[in-house]
Amino acid sequence: MKDSEESRPGDAGAVFPEKPGDQEVPADSGFPCAGNSSGKQSEAYLQSILRAVPVGIGVVVNRIIMDANPRLCDILGYRREELVGHSSRMLYISEEDYEYVGREKYLQIAKHGFGTLETHLRCKDGRVIDALLSSSPVDTGDMSKGVTFTILDITAGKLAEIRLRESEEKYRTLVEQSIQGMIISRDNPPRICFASKPMEAIIGYTPQELMNFSSAELLDIVHSDDRESYYKAFRDRLSGRLQQIRREFRMVHKNGQVRWVELSGTTILYEGYPATQTVMVDITERKHAEKELLESGEKLKKLFDNIRDGLFVHPVSDSGVHGVFEMVNRSASEILGYTEQELLGMTPEDIYAPVFPGAGISREMSLLDQQGSQIFEAVHVHKNGARIPVEVRTSRIELSGSEFTISTVRDITGRKRSDEELKKIATALQQSPTVVVMMNAAAEVEYVNPRYTELTGYTAREVIGRYPTILQSGMIPGNIWLLAVSSG
């Protein structure tokens, strides 16, 4: 360092030597004396460390910067000579921040021997960064000898922290305002770690009551006939044997009433431990409506025939054998081409076809056997032999002591065809020799194809979300604007 001794009050020369040999190593430092080769190697080793450390390091005397390592210069954007000899006030965005850091840091040093706090610093190019500032005096008994400080740029971490907090707040608001209840459970036997407010409307217990319940008390909430299957599903999810679930169960409300709920759940990590996240929807009214429909005779028939989706009802024996359809609606006949009477003499095995050639229909029959509600895609066979892609929703009910499966079937031929067309269009856009730019109704760019990047050099990430003025700003050739296609 070239500064004169007059610029270093006291022992302020305890700063970083510019090169080996500029500063002697004290005899009691543990290093050989600076005059021999071993001492020079030690100083070179120290210099290497100061260049390599990921934090900025400097020395101040009376808050005047006396030295700075390369990383400190990189963080702040200054050359070393632009920092050394200047007040550290130049790095703060306001006098208030400057005074606060000085006051707080030196209070911590007086109390603990070091000081650490977060602050904002202004870089040479005007950027303001979040920084973790730590300071320690060269001599705790004489502050005039200077203070060594470190600066760690935590801007990225603070931004991520803010975004995470915002995301968590949005998620919590969504959960609390939803009509669906949510619980997070872990351990075996289970306990509830989190319950959303809507759970109280579904089963009558407040979130705090649910979280305070013992395993036995939680068991009592589930209807006695459903407990075994409910907790088997819970254990399977927690062990990883079952990743997702969608079932219907009966729960006992706080007032003693039985409520039907539809559960959809998945396995997650909660506070670092395996847990199950379950969303509950009260479907009591729907279940009552289903029961009334099945018992209403002619009224049921009329309602069935006005349902757009195909509807099939068939019994299931104790051994799991699927019986012939006992009820079908008009839409079922229209989808498959059979008359109602023809369908009433058929079984599910007669209308299902393998999704893939040679695959069989065991998967479909297995799903029909499941308790609760199931949703899956399958293939039905038309009377003329045509294969029809369908979406099937099933529910198991009990009528007059017998088990029945109700299936609603929706023809998704059009949707499948649209999906294929969309795939073709997407492929065509990706491979098009012409530049394609799509914008939404707000005139923001939503998509650019690879040809755009080839001609302009701008990637999709650089332009997506930007306003179309980017196309007229001189950043890209003007003729590309003429090729832009608006999707809004």
How confident is the model at residue 22, as a pLDDT? 42
Quote the pLDDT of residue 477.
54
CATH of 5-157, one of 3.40.250.10, 3.30.360.10, 3.40.710.10, 3.30.450.20: 3.30.450.20
Helices (H) and strands (E) in the chain, counts: 18, 18
Q: Specify the pLDDT at position 334.
A: 93
pLDDT digits over 388-427, tens only?
999 998 888 887 778 888 898 999 988 888 878 878 877 8
Sheet with 244-252, strands from edge to edge, namely 191-195, 181-186, 273-282, 258-270, 244-252
Residue type, position 422, single letter = L
pLDDT given for residue 168 in this prediction: 64
Q: How many CA within 13 A on the CB side of residue 117?
A: 16
Class of domain 178-282: alpha beta
Q: φ and ψ at 147, to 5 degrees?
A: -130, 130
Q: Please tell us whether the domain made up of 425-483 is placed in CATH 3.30.450.20.
A: yes
Q: For the chain, which residues make up each domain, given as ranges? A: 5-157, 178-282, 298-415, 425-483
Residues of the chain short of pLDDT 50, as ranges, are 1-36, 479, 481-488
Confidence (pLDDT) at 1: 38
pTM of the predicted protein model: 0.35
Instruction: For residues 413 and 316, give the distance between their C-alpha atoms in angstroms, rounded to a whole number.
Output: 29
Q: Measuring CA to CA, which residue among 323, 346, 324, 342 is closest to residue 333?
A: 342
Cα 133 to chain center, whole Å? Answer: 32
- Domain 298-415 in CATH 1.20.1110.10: no
